[in-house]
Amino acid sequence: MTDRRSALVTGVTGQDGAYLVELLLGKGYAVHGIARDVAAFDYSRLGNTRYDAGEFRLYNCDITDEAGLRKLVAAIRPDEIYNLAAQSHVPTSLADPRRTMEINATAAVSLLRMIVDLEFQEHTRLFQASSSEVFGDASGAVLTESSPMRPCNPYAESRYQAYVASTRLRAETGLFVVNGFLFNHESPYRSAAFVTRKISLAVASRARGGRAPLRLGNLDVRRDWGHARDYVAGMWLSLQRDQPDDYIFATGENHSVREFVEFAFATAGRRIRWQGAGLHEAGHDAETAERLVEIDPAFFRPHEISATLGDASKALQELEWRPRTTFEELVREMVISDLDRTR
Ligand code: F7E
């Protein structure tokens, strides 16, 4: 690789990895992507970005393989590291808290330590992907960087631990590490394990004749949903500052799962009429009376966060970051992408 700026992106095969690689290549970086299975990297996600073997490299490495990761970090000596590797699904963290902790906390902390041990802290800056989940259920309060943190599931606990360790190491060693408290961010690349993509895929499946109703949990939880493309821009901006700090990335607007469902089906020309209540509620096509949505208790969570809402004014003031995509544009893009894909 040449003397261009270099970035190491962990978890490169995920949704955020795709957008971040595109952004960094567009800025002329030498990008080194690592993941457990780089064969899963989907080059079509890079869109029209120009890249060649000299600028973009992929490496197979599990983030929990400390020795393997250390070898790579030492050899690459990256200017920037974006730690996006994570077990990021809340229900999976309830089923497998140990693995969630290993990936999201233990491996993240050892990556930070590694930079210090290699004496790279004068040179290498690190973005640590954190989450609005660390704040727990704040009963719809508008969250800022100084809001109390009350994690209420293993996923949130793991993110919280990585946050605590990174701020401590920052104070102790001068390491340039930024925590980004990312609120829900979605796109056509989102995995179907998350509710937004589950909905957009169901709308597309219905449009091509599928008959199975979409089965969902709590329709009335509200999330501050933004577009992943906007959030990776914030990650990059946060590493360009003179001093490291922590930032909320959010839209400042929230919507219910119910609204997401209604808007997604409306994009495909269907209006939903809700009937019944509680577990017996169902969404029907207002014209044809077909049953489109039903409730499945399996998707309810033990400690649900009823609403999230973030205040990103610090990122706006210090990074000049703002979300560009509206809720309506996000839903439309996801649904249209799935309709096109299945056509
Ligand atoms: O759930 C409700 C569910 O799984 C959103 C991750 O990126 O954002 C994400 O975490 C809401 C929850 O995302 C279904 O109960 C209803 O209230 O799409 P989700 P999440 O758990 O909010 C945070 C910020 C992260 O950091 C995470 O890594 O939707 N919901 N019915 C459902 N959720 C799912 N998955 N499936 C349902 O059928």
Q: Which of the listed residues 131, 134, 184 should we mutate to test ligand 1's pocket, taking the one with most ligand atoms within 8 A of CB?
A: 184
Q: How far apart are CA 35 and CA 17, in angstroms?
A: 10
| Ligand 1 centroid – CA 337 distance (Å) | 20
272-275 vs 255-256, strand pairing mode: unpaired
Q: How far is it between the farthest Cα atoms of the chain? A: 66
Q: Would you say residue 114 lies in a domain?
A: yes
Q: With respect to residue 164, please indicate whether it lies within any of the assigned structural domains.
A: yes
14 Cα–ligand 1 center, Å: 16
The answer to whether residue 200 sits within a structural domain is no
The answer to whether position 174 is within a domain reads: yes
Atom of ligand 1 nearest to the CA of 217: 31
Q: pLDDT at position 175, please?
A: 97
State which residues of the chain have pLDDT below 70: 1-2, 47-54
Check if 206 has its Cβ closer than 6 Å to any atom of ligand 1. no
Question: Does residue 72 lie within any of the structural domains?
Answer: yes
CA of 228 to the centre of ligand 1 (A): 15
The CATH number assigned to the domain holding 154 equals 3.40.50.720
Query: In angstroms, what is the span from residue 39 Cα to ligand 1's centroid?
Result: 27
- DSSP readout, 79-110? SEEEE------HHHHHH-HHHHHIIIIIHHHH
Residue 339 domain-assigned?
A: no
Domain that holds residue 184: 6-188+225-252+305-324
pLDDT of residue 53: 43
294 close to ligand 1 (CB < 6 Angstrom): no
Residue 185, classed as helix, strand or coil, is strand
Look at residue 84 and tell me if it is in a domain: yes
Token pair of 20 as six digits: 């971040």
174-185 in b/e form (b: 16+ CB < 10 A) is: ebbbbbbbbbbb
Number of independent structural domains in the chain: 1
Give the pLDDT confidence score for residue 2 in this predicted structure.
Answer: 57
- How high is the pLDDT of residue 256? 98
Per-residue model confidence as pLDDT tens digits over 267-320 = 999 999 999 999 999 999 999 999 999 999 999 998 999 999 999 999 999 999
Q: Whose CA is nearest to atom 31 of ligand 1?
A: 217
> Could you tell me which residues come within 8 angstroms of residue 7 by beta carbon, excluding any fewer than 6 positions away?
24, 29, 30, 31, 32, 78, 79, 80, 81, 82
Residue 276, classed as helix, strand or coil, is coil
Query: Does the CB atom of residue 183 touch ligand 1 within 6 A?
Result: yes
Nearest residue to 184 via CA among 137, 226, 129:
226
**Phi, psi of 38, deg, nearest 5:** -70, -15
Query: Residue 294: what pLDDT?
Result: 98
* In a domain? residue 337: no
Query: Comparing C-alpha atoms, which of 333, 320, 315, 304 is closest to residue 91?
Result: 304
Work out the end-to-end distance of the chain between its first and last CA atoms, rounded to an integer number of angstroms: 41
